[in-house]
Each structure stands twice: as structure tokens, then as C-alpha cells.
Amino acid sequence: MPPPTPRRLSFTIRYTGRSNKLVSETLISKPYFPTPHVPSFAPSTPPPDVVQAARKYDGIWDTGATNSVISQRVVDELGLKPTGMVKVQTASDCKACETFLVSIVLPNKVVIPYVRVTKGMLAGCDVLIGMDIIMEGDFAFISRKYLDGRPITCRLIQPFANGRSRLLVHREPSRTCRRNKLCG
């Protein structure tokens, strides 16, 4: 019996006018390890206790941030314990920040189960989604002039196999030739 056809998991954020930030609802929970017997074509479903403990936060997508950041509010509400300290370089200075482990559920129900985040001061949101998460998928920002009536769009689509992705979705090999690779 052939394996089921994978569904492509993606989500779109649309704005009807100009926007200087990309915001989506993001679920954050304590970290958990996915069970190894979950078929590779099935999106991960966190255990019920993890889902019940997860909280909804506004997440700002920031391509200028190397890593993801959470606020003190997230730490307090989830009862997270620090896992270490790292030096963080911001636009204005370099400082030591606490790190935490969390699981992140994106709007398309894709779960990233074990993410190291730093605690930081965030204005207007509680989660900053950095390139550590954005690079797990294919991210496209499409900006069209509002005059033609079309919205500004942001999309995150899970990648085809790249060997590094931690997204818990089906991955299949790319069917195209890549630069410096033999086609065959």
C-alpha cells in the first residue's frame, strides 16, 4: 500500500494596507520530545497535557533576529526554568541573557518541539520569532502595491527535505536540480 499523500502545510498572513510588522498567533508550551514511532508523514500532535498547558501569544516575525526571544510574561505563565546564559548582541549593546527550552506551535499547527530561546525585553508582543524558526521553512514576503486592491502577504511553507529541518511534517526529496549538483 503506497504511503498517504502528504499535505502541504502553510499559512498566510494578510494585511489590507501597509504594515511595518508581521504578527501571528503563536502557541508556546514547555518543551517535549515527540514520540519516535510517529510516522514521518504525520504532523506531530503534542501530548494532551502539553496542549492544555500551552498559551497563546502574539508573535512578531523578525528576519533581523538570529534567534527567537520570549518575554518575562511567557516565562512566568509557563513556569519555565532557565537552562543557561548566552551573550546577546542587540542593535545597541551586548548583554548576558537567560535561555529557556520551549515548544512552538505555528499557525498552521506545525510543532517545533525543542527550541532554545532567550528571555528579552519585547515591546508590543511576548514572542519574537527569529531566523532559527524562519529558516526551518520556506518564507516568502510578497509586497504588492495596495492601489491594485491586493493585500500584502507573508507565507511560511514547510520545506522539502533539507536534512536540517526540525519541523514535524512530512518531507520529500526535491525533484529539481540544484546548483553544483548532478542532475539525473
Task: Give the cell for residue 73.
Answer: 510574561
Which strand (E) or helix (H) includes residue 74?
helix 72-78
Q: Which of 8, 7, 9, 10 is nearest to 140 (CA)?
A: 10
Residue 102 has φ and ψ, to the nearest 5°, of -140, 170
**Interval 147-151 mean pLDDT:** 48
The pLDDT, as a whole number, for residue 127 is 97
* pLDDT, position 155: 56
The pLDDT of residue 143 is: 65
What's the pLDDT tens digit per position in 27-56?
A: 999 887 766 654 443 445 566 666 677 899
The CATH number of the domain covering residues in 23-34+46-137: 2.40.70.10
| Spans of all domains in the chain | 23-34+46-137
Least confident of 5-9, 49-53, 55-59, 148-152: 148-152
pLDDT at 9 over 80: no
Q: Note the pTM of the prediction, 2 decimals.
A: 0.71
Tens of pLDDT, residues 102-131: 998 888 777 788 899 999 999 889 999 999
First-to-last C-alpha distance (Å) of the chain: 27
Question: What pLDDT sits at residue 167?
Answer: 44
Q: Is the pLDDT of residue 147 over 50?
A: no
C-alpha cell at 35: 514520540
